[in-house]
């Protein structure tokens, strides 16, 4: 049986994963028609906007879309048409952590995955390869296969593959152009291996063969959770050490540099910060915790839960340090928070540390002014209202101001808190910032970003996370 010759691809979900991934596939595979579908009309309109005002910010993405859109890359809300015409369907929908019911706070909400799967079964008139692209719990493919086989039309056959993404926001396009690996999981049956070979053939248009790994379906699903959990574990480990550094006078930069020289460890993901965020790390670790508990492995669950606990501790510790340094009270004081995205080079705010910091400052009744170069103002208000359920929007707006200029954000403030490592914060005219701040003027660097000595020469009191210097 020869692998399916994939001529048309459909991607259900036009978000942070599906959009960039399938845009790059279209760019690299001009012979394949790629249609990205979503029920959100405004999101599709943004993908189709004449001025390329795309719904997500990712360096290099606009250039990719400009080259492929209208040629073999299309964006549409006609989900049924795209499903019917495609040989291969990526399911790339949101899988947030459940907020209610069994597994609330830990398990993944698979409502959107199930809805997409049922839609495929209901409208497909021919056999398809269906690919899990969303991050899902182990054996989700089994549920998808059951739904498809129970609801499909006579004569239709579906092969399920797992093809998890390993993208870092801010570098996603480069990650797609030159991936460390492409992982494809399938049932180890002739039909499953055939479907796997078909998807491998798509990636083979630009990814070296040795970087395309084909494994069992369940191993592929677990590998995604395992990779994110171990990366987050490194961050929480170095953040735990940053607390020791501050208490002893050590320098976390020097410690991580020295540790990173060990060839068994390496330097990546050893940079201390106010905490990790984003759509994957915390969600996937909690998913792993839930899976471990479901399998009656409480010690394993407790081990992985501690990674998340350490991340939350780092945020609260940093917030507490700001209060203690500002003479043990920030009530009525004015604080600038530079950065709202969970990291630089993205507009994504999911699990961003900035929200936790601002919420903690508001609990002390401080006034906060926020600036971020990419996050939409409406998104900031949405995140803050969700994080502060006891506050009305009107109450929040009395204490929080959102501005469009970093200098303006810092004007007349007692302290500046760097919450996101945007490069432009390095280029701020810090002398001007100092001149227009209340004195003493404090800078709290939660991202190891600024030149602390340079700022101290200007006159700032500087406190950098993971360094034992006394302000």
Rounded to whole angstroms, the Cα distance separating 413 from 253 reads 28
Q: What is the DSSP string of 203-234?
A: HTTTS-GGGEEEEEHHHHHHHHHHHHHHHHHH
Rounded to whole angstroms, the Cα distance separating 17 from 93 reads 9
Rounded to whole angstroms, the Cα distance separating 258 from 238 reads 12
Residue 22 bears catalytic tag:
no
Q: What is the DSSP string of 383-407?
A: HHHHH-TTS-HHHHHHHEEE-S-HH
| Three-class secondary structure of residue 454 per DSSP | helix
Please state whether beta strands 182-186 and 158-162 pair in parallel, antiparallel, or not at all (unpaired). antiparallel
Q: How far is CA 295 from the centre of its chain?
A: 27
Which pair of structure tokens corresponds to residue 373?
A: 């170069």
Burial of 407 from C-beta contacts in 10 A (0-12 / 13-18 / 19+): middle
Select which of 11, 29, 138, 280 is catalytic.
280
**Long-range CB contacts (within 8 A, 24+) of 191-196:** 191/1, 191/157, 191/159, 192/159, 192/161, 192/217, 194/1, 194/2, 194/3, 194/4, 194/159, 195/3, 195/4, 195/129, 195/159, 195/161, 196/161
Contacts (Cβ under 8 Å, ≥6 apart) of 150: 121
- Strand-pair partners of 198: none
Give residue for tokens 């971020």. 372
| Catalytic residue IDs | 280
């Amino acid at each position: 049986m020869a692998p399916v010759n994939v001529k048309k691809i459909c991607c259900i979900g036009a978000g942070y994963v599906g959009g960039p991934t399938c845009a790059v596939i279209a760019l690299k595979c001009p012979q394949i028609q790629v249609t990205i579908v979503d029920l959100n009309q405004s999101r599709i309109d943004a993908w189709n906007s004449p001025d390329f005002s795309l719904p997500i910010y990712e360096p290099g993405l606009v250039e990719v879309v400009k080259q492929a859109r209208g040629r073999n890359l299309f964006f549409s809300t006609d989900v049924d048409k795209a499903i019917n015409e495609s040989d291969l369907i990526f399911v790339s929908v949101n899988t947030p952590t459940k907020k209610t019911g069994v597994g609330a706070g830990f398990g993944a909400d698979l409502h959107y995955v199930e809805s997409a799967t049922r839609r495929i079964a209901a409208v497909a008139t021919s056999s398809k390869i269906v690919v899990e692209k969303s991050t899902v719990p182990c054996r989700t493919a089994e549920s998808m296969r059951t739904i498809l086989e129970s609801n499909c039309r006579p004569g239709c056959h579906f092969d399920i593959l797992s093809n998890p993404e390993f993208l870092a926001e801010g570098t996603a396009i480069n990650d797609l152009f030159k991936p460390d690996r492409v992982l494809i999981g399938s049932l180890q049956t002739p039909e499953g291996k055939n479907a796997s070979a078909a998807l491998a053939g798509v990636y083979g248009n630009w990814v070296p063969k040795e970087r395309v790994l084909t494994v069992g379906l369940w191993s592929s699903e677990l590998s995604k959770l395992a990779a994110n959990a171990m990366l987050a574990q490194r961050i929480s480990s170095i953040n735990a050490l940053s607390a020791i550094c501050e208490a002893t006078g050590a320098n976390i930069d020097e410690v991580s540099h020295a540790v990173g020289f060990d060839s068994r460890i390496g330097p990546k993901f050893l940079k201390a910060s106010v905490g990790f965020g984003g759509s994957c790390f915390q969600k996937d670790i909690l998913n792993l915790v839930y899976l471990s508990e479901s399998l009656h492995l409480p010690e394993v669950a407790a081990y992985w839960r501690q990674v998340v606990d350490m991340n939350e501790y780092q945020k609260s510790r940093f917030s507490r340090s700001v209060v203690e340094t500002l003479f043990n009270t920030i009530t009525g004081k004015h604080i600038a928070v530079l950065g709202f995205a969970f990291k630089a080079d993205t507009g994504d705010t999911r699990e961003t540390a900035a929200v936790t910091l601002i919420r903690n400052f508001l609990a002390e009744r401080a006034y906060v002014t926020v600036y971020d170069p990419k996050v939409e103002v409406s998104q900031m208000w949405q995140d803050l209202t969700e994080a502060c359920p006891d506050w009305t929007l009107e109450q929040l707006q009395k204490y929080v101001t959102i501005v469009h200029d970093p200098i303006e954000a810092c004007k007349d403030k007692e302290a500046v808190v760097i919450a996101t490592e945007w490069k432009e914060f390095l280029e701020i005219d810090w002398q001007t910032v100092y001149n227009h701040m209340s004195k003493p003027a404090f800078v709290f660097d939660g991202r190891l970003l600024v030149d602390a000595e340079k700022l101290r020469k200007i006159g700032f009191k500087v406190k950098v996370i993971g360094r034992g210097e006394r302000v």
